[in-house]
Amino acid sequence: MSEIKKVVLAYSGGLDTSVILKWLQDTYRCEVVTFTADIGQGEELEPARRKAEQFGVSQIYIDDLREEFVRDFVFPMFRANTIYEGEYLLGTSIARPLIAKRQIDIAREVGADAVSHGATGKGNDQVRFELGYYALEPNIHVIAPWREWDLTSREKLLAYAESHGIPVEMKHKNGGSPYSMDANLLHISYEGKVLEDPAREPEADMWRWTVDPEQAPEQARYLDLTFEKGDAVALDGKALSPAALLAELNRIGGEHGIGRLDLVENRFVGMKSRGCYETPGGTLLLKAHRAIESLTLDREVAHLKDDLMPRYAALIYNGYWWSPERVALQTLIDHTQQTVNGWVRLKLYKGSVTVVGRESHADSLFDPTIATFEDDHGAYQQADAAGFIRLNALRLRIAARLRKSR
């Protein structure tokens, strides 16, 4: 292990990565550089710096990546209307390629031999991080402590922390959540504890971002989202940066109980897992984006996007953001978004979101003179439908005649 001189650790300052920091120093006898990404998790990050300093770390990176996260990762994903297994909006998955990218950038800046992460050997994140590392720096050395050490339980981690003087904040003893959580500007996730029994309802006090829909306001809330080339750029007529817009949608959606999900999903590593998610802003974005596309996209283009979306979603879920096939799909998706311009009006009420209006002055393919139920003055020749139907029924009629002849 002596060939490792310097390693960049993806570091949160929590129990796992605090133990990993000391373990790397003791096991590899190497210099550790810590990297903490601010992607909107809503936590104070300076304690992570102080912890790292306590253990002699001299190069500490705490980077505000919120705008880059939403602009270059969340928004491109939402242009595809991406959902994994019919429900999951990929809040954890989409953050990993950005963290991997910045971690590799830092490794280059400081001349590190290796990178390290705190993902366990049971989860998807180890795959997502490491596929990103190798795609961006093919010869990088990756240290995954959970696949090497014998600290196989929370109790062993706590014992290690105590024996090495690592301060650990026992949040669950002070009213905090006992769940394994991941948060960023797109979502917050919960795993573990009672959720390990798929038959049990989540505890009411688990949820942090959204009110119980039953307790949401009695008055519906309307909001308008403006889109340019497939991306939301303004809320109720006010232009906002990508991160600011998503944060405000999270606030509004959370107040109305929007975006809760309880899901048993298929992990890439082979097992099923149960998780709960809050994605209020993303739920609103997806609803509005599909609405503006319904007005501005050609039918076959829209259907092609829907056909490709599950493949695109699986690529992100499984960690292939940096793969050539994801880039190729993104090129096609982004090409379709050139005409996705206009505004959408949403109605929020007690956990539900409904599209109640949409308009695109320049790019709408909705022609009221043709679609009208009133006199269209010859804009659409209804008699043409007879030949259209006969031709489309031809193969069905041939097959039916054959069956009757037998």
Catalytic positions: 16, 96, 125, 180
What is d(CA 216, CA 210) in angstroms, rounded to the nearest whole number? 9
**69 contact partners, CB below 8 Å, separation of at least 6:** 39, 40, 95, 98, 184, 185, 186, 243
> Rounded to 5 degrees, what angle do the CA atoms 365, 368, 371 make?
90
Amino acid at 193: K
Q: Per residue in 38-69, is it b (16+ CB within 10 Å) or e — as a string?
A: bbbbeeeeeebbebbeebebebbbbbebbebb
Amino acid at 359: E
Cα 85 to the chain's mean position, in Å?
Answer: 13
Amino acid at 278: E
What length is written for the chain? 406
- For residues 256 and 221, is the Cβ–Cβ distance under 8 A? yes
Classify residue 270 by burial, with Cβ atoms within 10 Å: 0-12, 13-18, 19+: exposed
**280-296 vs 242-255: helix crossing angle, rounded to 10:** 110
- For residues 355 and 288, is the Cβ–Cβ distance under 8 A? yes
Using the Cα atoms of residue 271, residue 277, residue 281 and residue 285 in order, give the sign of their dihedral: positive
